[in-house]
């Protein structure tokens, strides 16, 4: 059986000696070692700052993508609801039936056509503009 060689205490690492042995063996004086440790600390803190910044940006991007997907879904559902509120005759004028509404809305969205809604509700205007009594009675006299 082979045994390990006995190591001398001065070759072991401790808090007072650098890794691998005595300070005199490494060729660094105390100021050089201190500067090297300080540089390593700055490098570690810079790496950690970059990792944290990348993580924050990833979470922010994920939130932004999720919010935009949710908004797009709400717009598509509102467009479907608007089409479902139309009568069968109005849908036939558009070339749709009730079963085609979800497919037509999703297909238009996949082609890049976003539904647009009027934000200000204008008063309803009658299609027949001959609603004044004077025009009504003009042809009857």
Q: How many domains does the chain have?
A: 1
* Contact in structure between 136 and 130 (CB atoms under 8 Å): yes
Residue 72 lies in a domain: yes
Residue 15 lies in a domain: yes
Its pTM stands at: 0.47
Residue 87 lies in a domain: yes
- Look at 126 and 68; give whichever has higher pLDDT: 68
Residue 139 lies in a domain: no
The 10s digit of each residue's pLDDT in 79-108 is 899 999 989 999 888 888 999 899 888 888
The string of DSSP letters for 49-102 reads HHHHHHHHHHHHHHHHHHHHHHHHHHHHHHHHHHHHTS-HHHHHHHT--GGGHH
The 10s digit of each residue's pLDDT in 16-49 is 555 555 555 557 788 888 999 999 999 999 999 9
Residue 58 lies in a domain: yes
Residue 135 lies in a domain: no
Residue 15 domain boundaries: 9-115
Residue 90 lies in a domain: yes
* Contact in structure between 82 and 108 (CB atoms under 8 Å): no
Residue 108 lies in a domain: yes
């Amino acid at each position: 059986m082979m045994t390990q060689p006995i190591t001398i205490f001065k070759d072991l690492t401790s808090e007072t000696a650098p890794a691998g042995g005595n300070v005199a063996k490494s060729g660094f004086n105390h100021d050089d070692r201190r500067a090297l440790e300080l540089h390593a600390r700055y490098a570690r803190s810079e790496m950690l700052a970059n990792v944290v910044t990348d993580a924050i940006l990833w979470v922010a991007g994920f939130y932004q993508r999720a919010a935009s997907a949710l908004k797009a879904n709400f717009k598509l559902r509102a467009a479907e609801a608007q089409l479902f509120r139309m009568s069968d005759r109005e849908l036939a004028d558009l070339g749709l039936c009730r079963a085609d509404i979800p497919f037509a809305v999703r297909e238009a969205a996949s082609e890049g056509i976003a539904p647009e809604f009027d934000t200000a509700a204008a008063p309803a205007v009658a299609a027949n503009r001959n609603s004044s009594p004077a025009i009504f009675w003009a042809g009857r006299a």
